[in-house]
Amino acid sequence: MTEEDVSGADERREFLAGRLAAVRDRIAAACSAAGRPLDAVRLLAVTKTFPASDVALLGDLGLTEFGENRDQDAAPKAAEVAELRPGLRPRWHMVGQVQRNKARSVARWADVVESVDSPRLVEALTRAVAAARESGRRESRLDVLVQVSLDGAPGRGGCPPKEVAQIAEMVDHSGELRLIGVMAVAPLGGDSERSFETLNTVSDLLRRDHPDAVEISAGMSNDLERAIAAGSTSVRVGTALLGTRPIA
Ligand SMILES: *Cc1c(COP(=O)(O)O)cnc(C)c1O
């Protein structure tokens, strides 16, 4: 590594440290405004499009949960982070739509899939996790969240609220997956406050039959305060932490 690389890394570390402090302040302020304890909301760093070196630096700064939305990027990145920081125990979340033919790969690197939205995906992930465990490529079950669509618009993932119970039931019976909660992305141009309230209601109903499914993954860089006010337990933050993503 040249001296230039080292000072570039120092600059990036300082940038990320500043952004992280600001995001943590926003989360803390939103928690106290909502009368919720500070540890009620976790921070998931959405590192999609950013390099493994950024994940390593965020790990040095104390983060352990990272989100990715494309299997083809995340699989090599997770391997690279394991080499860069063998002592870090990252918890990788898949937050993007999972194509069923990618389920086998996802089952090897993901600790959590947040975007489960159909019975067929439950089936594909169940088979994939079973295969990964049989071949010794994973030990534990896969934690999953049911992604809920709050505007009924297809294309951005998520199932209608009325399908959540059936998908949750299938997850429970899979033997390979563990239901931990619900996830949503606020509809574009919609009333995000109402959407997050709807998600909270969906979560309440789900927990009647699945008391352990306590996670509510909601809120991103632009709307994390509104999500925390409505009960989010995990905010997924990319831009506010890492900067503007390069356009794909
Ligand atoms: C990219 C992404 C995020 C992070 O979005 P920002 O606006 O950059 O904070 C959160 N959730 C999902 C599902 C994403 O794809």
pLDDT in tens, 52-75: 999 999 999 999 999 999 999 999
**What was the pLDDT predicted at 6?**
63
Q: Which residues line ligand 1 (CB under 6 A)?
A: 46, 48, 69, 95-96, 185, 220-222, 236-240
Establish if 148 belongs to a structural domain. yes
Amino acid at 20: L
Give Cβ neighbours of residue 121 (< 8 Å, ≥ 6 apart).
98, 100, 103
| pTM of the shown model | 0.95
Closest protein CA for atom 5 of ligand 1: 238
Return the residue whose CA atom lies nearest to atom 7 of ligand 1.
221
Q: Which residues contact 237 (CB under 8 A, 6 or more apart)?
A: 23, 43, 44, 45, 46, 219, 220, 221, 224
Ligand 1 centroid to residue 70 C-alpha, Å: 12
d(CA 219, CA 125) in angstroms, rounded, equals 25
In the chain, alpha helices (H): 3-33, 52-60, 71-84, 103-109, 119-134, 164-174, 192-209, 224-229, 239-242
Look at residue 62 and tell me if it is in a domain. Answer: yes
Whether residue 227 lies inside any domain: the answer is yes
The predicted structure's pLDDT at residue 5:
63
- Report CA-CA distances (Å) from 47 to 15, 60, 209: 15, 15, 33
> Ligand 1, residues 20, 228, 236: which to mutate, most atoms within 8 A of Cβ?
236
Q: How far apart are CA 39 and CA 28, in angstroms?
A: 9
Q: Looking at ligand 1, which residue's alpha carbon is closest to its atom 11?
A: 236
Ligand 1 centre and the CA of 98: distance in Å? 15
Containing structural domain, residue 86? 3-242
Looking at the domain assignment, is residue 248 inside a domain? Answer: no
User: What is the spatial distance between Cα 32 and Cα 12, in angstroms, rounded to a whole number?
Assistant: 30
| Domain membership flag for residue 17 | yes
Q: Give just the sign of the alpha carbon dihedral 27, 29, 30, 34.
A: positive
46, 113, 192, 224: residue to mutate for ligand 1 pocket, most atoms within 8 A of CB = 46
From 177, 196, 203, 205, select the one nearest 235 (Cα to Cα). 196
Query: Hunting for tokens 């931990």 — which residue is that?
Result: 180
pLDDT of 169: 98
| Rounded-to-integer distance, Cα 150 and Cα 219, Å | 13
pLDDT at 248: 60
The CATH code of the domain that includes 69 is 3.20.20.10
Closest listed residue to residue 166, CA positions, set 110, 211, 195, 205:
205
Q: Mutation test of ligand 1: which of 26, 68, 95 has the most ligand atoms closer than 8 Å to its C-beta?
A: 95
Asked whether residue 181 is domain-assigned, the answer is yes
Residue-level pLDDT at 166: 98
- pLDDT, averaged in runs of 10, over the chain (248 residues): 67 97 98 96 98 97 98 98 97 96 97 98 98 95 97 82 97 97 90 92 98 98 97 98 86
Taking each helix axis from N to C end, the angle separating 192-209 and 164-174, rounded to the nearest 10 degrees, works out to 50
* Residue 146 domain-assigned (yes or no): yes
pLDDT given at position 246: 78
**pLDDT of the residue at 197:** 96
Give the model's pLDDT for residue 160. Answer: 95
Asked whether residue 247 is domain-assigned, the answer is no
Taking the CA atoms of residue 107, residue 151, residue 200 and residue 69 in that order, the dihedral angle to the nearest 10 degrees is 30
Encoded tokens for 93: 């979340």
For 55, counting Cβ atoms within 10 Å of its Cβ (0-12 exposed, 13-18 middle, 19+ buried), the class is buried
The domain tally of the chain equals: 1
